[in-house]
């Protein structure tokens, strides 16, 4: 296969990973739905098993022959090769049938009985559930640190015993609070247990934030979001600069049977060349909307990186993010009734969970995505009654702003009816 390591990432995503001569000259990859692969000879079969079992080293840069599709298959290999150049610093990738599958498999690769995981809060609800309802009863210790509290994170990492994993999710959902990735990696590197630092990069990656270049050992994605971008599939990805990390993860994936299926691999690889185009447009739209809504009389806060006021948050944002991204949150002074009235009155933007798609989606985190959190956790992470999260799409931003303004107007009118004295 030709070597395309000499071109830039936006070119490589179109040229790497796929050799048309292996798909009867087809310009786009075929979908290989086969569950099993025919060996050239019994010797090749023996060799493939020896490599997969770790008894034989594959030649540098070469993949072993395919065996059986739960271990790997042609479309997974194409997708994995193609996605690597999008993540700065990555050398290998593994794809999964959801973001949670990627996170779970990483946990079961690097976690161990009586080991400790240090993580920022809030995390994605599914990840929090996995840690609290599964890892902890299973015998792992957990230490949660509020997002953005660098000193507390330093202390948690330094003092943890049997530390095997540090998981950062930055910016945090839905408040956009940022955690300093490089600082956490430096701390972790000084710990005698040499824990792996994992970053859930779903919100800003792969376009705007590059954790592997800041020292992280593993980057995780829900590819259900920006990577696929059309709210029509589930997928997950793990990427690392050390190929051994991905080899270990792939071997767990073979046991768990959670590899992404061929059709989904084919769909996702067709979306990759437009990830940075979509994310750039979405980020520009979001910045225009967030800045236009900032200071609105019905809102107590607009949470967005270009509107940060805390100097430490501004410093982290400038240091580790290229653009502010396409998610912002607004907080209504009128609490839950105002937030619900707003969601009820939007016409262009839809009320749905999830994010990262080309269409604008809005939700009320406290009663939906974050409803599993305790009152203390909600308060600590700033998920209030009046908070609405917005994932901005690629629509014309002027239509979105008009939609938001008419919905805000409706909220203002509703509150006048409810309290005629005001």
Ligand X SMILES: *Cc1c(COP(=O)(O)O)cnc(C)c1O
Tokens found for residue 45: 């079969």
Which helix (H) or strand (E) covers residue 283, if one does? Answer: helix 275-293
How far is residue 215's CA from residue 181's CA, in Å, rounded to a whole number?
8
Selection from 108, 420, 98, 35 nearest residue 255 by Cα: 108
Kindly state the number of chain residues that form the binding site for ligand X, as judged by CB under 6 A. Answer: 15
241 makes contact with ligand X (CB under 6 A): no
Stretch that binds ligand X, among 34-42, 96-104, 159-167, 382-390 (CB under 6 A): 96-104
Which helix (H) or strand (E) covers residue 116, if one does? Answer: strand 116-121
Query: For residues 125 and 273, which CB has a smaller minimum distance to ligand X in the complex?
Result: 125
Query: For residues 184 and 411, which CB has a smaller minimum distance to ligand X in the complex?
Result: 184
- Site residues for ligand X, 205-224, by CB under 6 A, read 222, 224
Query: For residues 7 and 234, which CB has a smaller minimum distance to ligand X in the complex?
Result: 234
How far is residue 203's CA from residue 157's CA, in Å, rounded to a whole number?
24
Query: For residues 334 and 356, which CB has a smaller minimum distance to ligand X in the complex?
Result: 356
Query: For residues 164 and 199, which CB has a smaller minimum distance to ligand X in the complex?
Result: 199
Q: What is the residue-wise DSSP string for 44-57?
A: HHHHHHHHHTTSSP
Query: Which alpha helices (DSSP H) does 294-374 contain, by range?
Result: 311-320, 335-345
329 makes contact with ligand X (CB under 6 A): no
236 makes contact with ligand X (CB under 6 A): yes
Burial class (CB in 10 A: 0-12, 13-18, 19+), 14: middle
For 333-352, letters b (16+ CB in 10 Å) and e give ebeeebbbbbbebbebbeee
Q: Least distance from C-beta 127 to ligand X, angstroms?
A: 6
Selection from 282, 388, 309 nearest residue 344 by Cα: 388
SS3 content of the chain, % helix, strand, coil (to 5): 45, 15, 40
Q: Least distance from C-beta 343 to ligand X, angstroms?
A: 19
Check: CB of residue 211 under 8 Å from CB of residue 201.
Answer: yes
- 3 state DSSP class of 219: strand
Query: For residues 214 and 260, which CB has a smaller minimum distance to ligand X in the complex?
Result: 260
Burial class (CB in 10 A: 0-12, 13-18, 19+), 93: buried
Q: Least distance from C-beta 97 to ligand X, angstroms?
A: 9
Interface residue with ligand X, options 225, 253, 271, 301 (CB under 6 A): 225
Q: Least distance from C-beta 126 to ligand X, angstroms?
A: 5
Query: For residues 237 and 298, which CB has a smaller minimum distance to ligand X in the complex?
Result: 237
Interface residue with ligand X, options 80, 154, 180, 200 (CB under 6 A): 200
179 makes contact with ligand X (CB under 6 A): no
Q: Least distance from C-beta 316 to ligand X, angstroms?
A: 18
174 makes contact with ligand X (CB under 6 A): no
Interface residue with ligand X, options 72, 75, 82, 98 (CB under 6 A): 98
- Site residues for ligand X, 388-407, by CB under 6 A, read none
| Dihedral of the alpha carbons of 314, 315, 317, 319, in degrees to the nearest 10 | 160
124 makes contact with ligand X (CB under 6 A): yes
Interface residue with ligand X, options 130, 234, 358, 401 (CB under 6 A): 234
Interface residue with ligand X, options 85, 99, 217, 324 (CB under 6 A): 99
202 makes contact with ligand X (CB under 6 A): yes
Q: Least distance from C-beta 365 to ligand X, angstroms?
A: 12
Residues that bind ligand X (CB under 6 A): 98-100, 124, 126-127, 169, 173, 200, 202, 222, 224-225, 234, 236
């Amino acid at each position: 296969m030709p070597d395309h390591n000499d071109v830039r990432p936006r070119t490589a995503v179109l040229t790497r990973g796929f050799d048309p001569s292996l798909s009867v000259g087809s310009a786009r990859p075929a979908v290989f739905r086969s569950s099993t692969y025919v060996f050239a000879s019994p010797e090749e079969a023996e060799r493939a098993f020896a490599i997969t079992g770790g008894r034989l080293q594959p030649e540098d840069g070469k993949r072993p022959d395919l065996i059986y599709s739960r271990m790997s298959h042609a479309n997974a290999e194409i997708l994995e090769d193609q996605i690597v150049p999008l993540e700065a610093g990555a050398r290998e990738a593994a794809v999964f049938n959801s973001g949670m599958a990627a996170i779970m498999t990483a946990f079961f690769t690097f976690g161990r009985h009586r080991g400790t995981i240090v993580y920022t809060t809030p995390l994605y609800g599914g990840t929090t559930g996995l840690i609290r309802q599964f890892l902890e009863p299973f015998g792992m210790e957990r230490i949660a640190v509020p997002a953005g509290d660098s000193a507390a994170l330093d202390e948690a990492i330094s003092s943890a015993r049997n530390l095997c994993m540090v998981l950062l999710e930055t910016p945090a959902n839905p408040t956009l609070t940022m955690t300093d990735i490089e600082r956490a990696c430096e701390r972790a590197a000084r710990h005698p247990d040499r824990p792996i630092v994992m970053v859930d990069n779903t919100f800003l990656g792969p376009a705007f934030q590059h954790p592997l270049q800041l020292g992280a050992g593993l980057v995780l994605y829900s590819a259900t979001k920006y990577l696929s971008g059309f709210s029509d599939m589930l997928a997950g990805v793990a990427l690392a600069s050390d190929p051994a990390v991905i080899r270990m993860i792939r071997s767990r994936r073979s046991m768990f049977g959670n590899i992404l299926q061929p059709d989904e691999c084919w769909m996702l690889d067709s979306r990759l060349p437009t990830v940075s185009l979509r994310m750039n447009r979405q980020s520009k739209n979001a910045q225009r909307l967030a800045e236009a809504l900032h200071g609105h009389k019905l809102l107590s806060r607009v949470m967005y990186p270009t509107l940060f006021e805390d100097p430490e948050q501004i410093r982290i944002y400038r240091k580790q993010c290229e653009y502010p991204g396409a998610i912002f949150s607004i907080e209504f002074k009128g609490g839950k009734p105002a937030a619900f009235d707003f969601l009820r009155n939007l016409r262009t933007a839809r009320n749905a969970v999830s994010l990262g798609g080309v269409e604008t989606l809005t939700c009320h985190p406290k009663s939906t995505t974050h409803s599993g959190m305790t009152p203390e956790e909600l308060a600590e992470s700033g998920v209030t009654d009046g908070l609405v999260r917005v994932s901005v799409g690629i629509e014309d931003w002027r239509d979105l702003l008009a939609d938001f303004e008419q919905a805000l107007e409706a909220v203002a009118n509703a509150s006048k009816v409810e309290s005629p004295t005001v």
